[in-house]
Amino acid sequence: MIRSRASLASLFLTMTAGATVGAVIATDAVHERKEVAGMAVVFGAEPEPALTDEMQFLRWRISTLDTEEAYADLEDATVTVMFDGREFGPFDVRGSRREPGQYQSQHIFTAEGEYSSVLRFRKGEHPEVHEVDFDFNIGDRAALMIPGRRGGN
């Protein structure tokens, strides 16, 4: 009995550690950070994985470089999305009431592949427009469906 409890505890710890490492790796692979206009901008599509025919949020977490505080004073924020040589938008970007410094736009992507986004904004009342671009992938939702609907497995 003691041996099986120890084995179960060891298995639980191994699984927990593996899941934690997997989550960290997945987060690092999907979210990207760039610097623009004295701010750090972290981008990601959520929920993850980003899939076709699902509601997706493009999210930007913005903080100052000097103090690393959330920056909640973006003005005229919009995003343009490019896919397969075509440009879509601009779409309005909203700030989150619950999480200062987080901004998002909402979309439903209908084709899998590599996309690009360009976030444009002004810092508060300053007239200069800044922009930052990020690439991201949208996977095929059908690849996760059991049973497959599009002639798949």
pLDDT digits (tens, 9 = 90+) for 33-69: 999 999 999 999 999 999 999 999 999 999 999 999 9
Q: Which of these ranges, 21-30, 70-79, 131-140, has the smallest mean pLDDT?
A: 21-30
Q: Are residues 23 and 38 in the same domain?
A: no
- Alpha carbon dihedral 92, 58, 120, 72, in 10-degree steps, equals 80
- Its pTM surpasses 0.95: no
Tokens matching residue 109: 């992507």
Distance CA 27, CA 23 (A): 6
Specify if 21 maps to a domain: yes
How many independent structural domains does the chain possess?
Answer: 2
Q: Are residues 73 and 15 in the same domain?
A: no
Q: CA 149 → CA 27, 53, 54, 105, distances in Å?
A: 29, 13, 15, 29
Q: Are residues 23 and 77 in the same domain?
A: no
User: Is 141 in a helix, a strand, or coil?
Assistant: helix
Q: Are residues 64 and 91 in the same domain?
A: yes
User: How does pLDDT run across 80-138, given as a tens digit for each residue?
Assistant: 999 999 999 999 999 998 999 999 999 999 999 999 999 999 999 999 999 999 999 99
Q: Please tell me what DSSP assigns to residue 147.
A: S
Q: Please tell me what DSSP assigns to residue 144.
A: G
Specify if 127 maps to a domain: yes
Specify if 72 maps to a domain: yes
Specify if 153 maps to a domain: no
Which CATH number belongs to the domain containing residue 62 in this structure?
A: 2.60.40.1930
Specify if 152 maps to a domain: no
Where are the extended beta strands (E) located within 5-149? 32-36, 39-46, 55-64, 74-83, 86-92, 94-95, 102-108, 113-123, 129-138
CA angle 122, 124, 128 (to 5 degrees): 35
Q: Which domain holds residue 83?
A: 33-144
